[in-house]
């Protein structure tokens, strides 16, 4: 089992720019795709992932100091430290039953495909860590390995079904035909995003407000273009942080850069991914007539959408305000704050057809839930982190992450697991 875990950790450690081409190549060879087309698809996909990551990391590097200044300036102090999603993911893979969960989830995906219970072909092995995280949380809550394994598998099955449901919306909103996002801590928010969007349809005024990027640009001209919107939002963040003029300009231009370049990097990624996805679907649909397969990949690609980027940037100061004002919150949002809003905005943007106002309102609601969930998870998260080798710093008693708070299904299952543990 340890060999399997080491192998998965090694592949995951390469990052998506290497991991996805490797997975795509192996699948393509097994399905006898043309070698020339396959190689080009693999390499172009890797380049696209690298481009998206470079742009987002550049944005985070420029904005993170302003966020820290904002936290200090506004006097935000809490007793749960946000240690960032990499620490959560690394600790997850150290869960003793991680390899078992991987094989169980893989088996469930194959069985569901065979009996036509799903059309989602899950090729994003990195995202298996979310199912492992669910199992780990339930294990700490119930003290039962069987219950934990059932929870991990059930999380996967629910995620695959949600991926089936959202695939047409994903195709329309993000321009990815034949692709879905079976990433548990993203697609779990889709039902709530759908319900909120239906609610907005019934609110006078809001139901007639067209605030998608195209409408904004048409109304305001150059001031409505993504680069101008990014400049204004970035400048606002820097001013709220009390940064000097030079830093304000740097943050403003860095935000504008992310708004413009990230979607272009997404186009490069799609140039590689779509021919591969089409080839896989063609082969599978011939062998299994009546199915309409779609390829499940990491929902991180949603953050390349201009509306997601805009809402995510607006959520930086909003999240800090919520963390200060929200009763019951004990998490200091810091490590994940620069991108987590983009992540949460994906399905509000998709169901709202890019409407920035609707997406912002939904993302605020999601963030409130996220902060409370992350706070509630802190005890189990801390145990999991320590087991995974995380070194608690001086004065640190509890750790959690905004990323952990996005795991809505995991949290619900941990509550059920605790109930089962108390009964039995």
Burial of 134 (0-12, 13-18, 19+ CB in 10 A): buried
Q: How many other CB atoms sit within 10 Å of the CB of residue 34?
A: 12
Tens digit of pLDDT for each residue in 86-121? 667 767 777 788 888 888 998 999 899 888 899 998
Q: Tell me which H or E stretch contains 364.
A: helix 356-376
Tens digit of pLDDT for each residue in 174-207? 888 888 999 999 999 999 999 999 999 999 988 8
Q: What's the average model confidence in pLDDT over 338-345?
A: 85
pTM: 0.82
Tens digit of pLDDT for each residue in 129-175? 899 999 999 998 898 999 999 999 999 999 999 999 999 998 888 88
Tokens encoding 33: 């795709």
Residue 358 to residues 305, 307, 322, 345, 350: CA-CA distances in angstroms? 15, 11, 18, 10, 11
């Amino acid at each position: 089992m340890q060999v399997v875990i080491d192998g998965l950790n090694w592949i995951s450690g390469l990052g998506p720019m290497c991991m996805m081409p490797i997975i795509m190549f192996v699948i393509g060879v097994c399905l006898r795709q043309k070698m020339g087309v396959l190689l080009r698809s693999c390499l172009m996909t890797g380049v696209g992932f690298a481009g998206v990551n470079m742009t987002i990391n550049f944005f985070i590097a420029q904005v993170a100091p302003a966020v820290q200044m904002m936290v200090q300036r506004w006097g935000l102090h809490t007793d749960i430290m946000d240690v960032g999603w990499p620490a959560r993911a690394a600790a997850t893979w150290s869960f003793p039953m991680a390899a078992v969960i991987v094989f169980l989830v893989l088996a469930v995906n194959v069985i569901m495909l065979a009996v036509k219970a799903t059309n989602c072909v899950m090729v994003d092995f990195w995202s298996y860590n979310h199912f492992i995280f669910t199992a780990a949380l339930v294990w700490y809550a119930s003290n039962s390995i069987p219950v934990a394994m059932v929870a991990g598998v059930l999380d996967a099955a629910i995620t695959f079904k949600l991926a089936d449901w959202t695939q047409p919306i994903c195709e329309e909103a993000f321009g990815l035909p034949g692709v879905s996002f079976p990433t548990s801590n993203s697609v779990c928010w889709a039902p709530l995003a759908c319900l909120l969007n239906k609610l907005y349809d019934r609110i006078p005024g809001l139901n007639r407000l067209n605030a998608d990027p195209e409408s904004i640009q048409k109304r305001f001209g150059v001031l409505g273009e993504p680069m101008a919107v990014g400049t204004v939002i970035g400048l606002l963040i820097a001013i709220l942080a009390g940064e000097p003029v030079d830093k304000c300009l740097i943050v403003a231009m860095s935000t504008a850069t992310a708004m413009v370049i990230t979607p272009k990097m997404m186009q490069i990624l799609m140039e590689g991914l779509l021919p591969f996805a089409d080839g896989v679907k063609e082969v599978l649909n011939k062998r299994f007539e009546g199915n309409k397969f779609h390829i499940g990949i990491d929902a991180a690609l949603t953050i390349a959408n201009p509306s997601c980027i805009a809402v995510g940037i607006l959520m930086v100061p909003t999240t800090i305000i919520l963390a200060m004002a929200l009763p019951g919150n004990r998490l200091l949002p810091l490590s994940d704050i620069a991108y987590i809003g983009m992540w949460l905005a994906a399905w509000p943007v998709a169901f709202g057809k890019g409407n920035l106002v609707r997406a912002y309102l939904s993302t605020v609601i999601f963030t409130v839930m996220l902060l409370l969930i992350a706070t509630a998870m802190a005890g189990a998260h801390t145990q999991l982190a320590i087991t995974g080798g995380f070194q608690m710093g001086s004065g640190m008693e509890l750790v959690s992450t905004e990323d952990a708070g996005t795991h809505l299904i995991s949290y619900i299952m941990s509550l059920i697991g605790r109930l089962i543990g108390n009964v039995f």
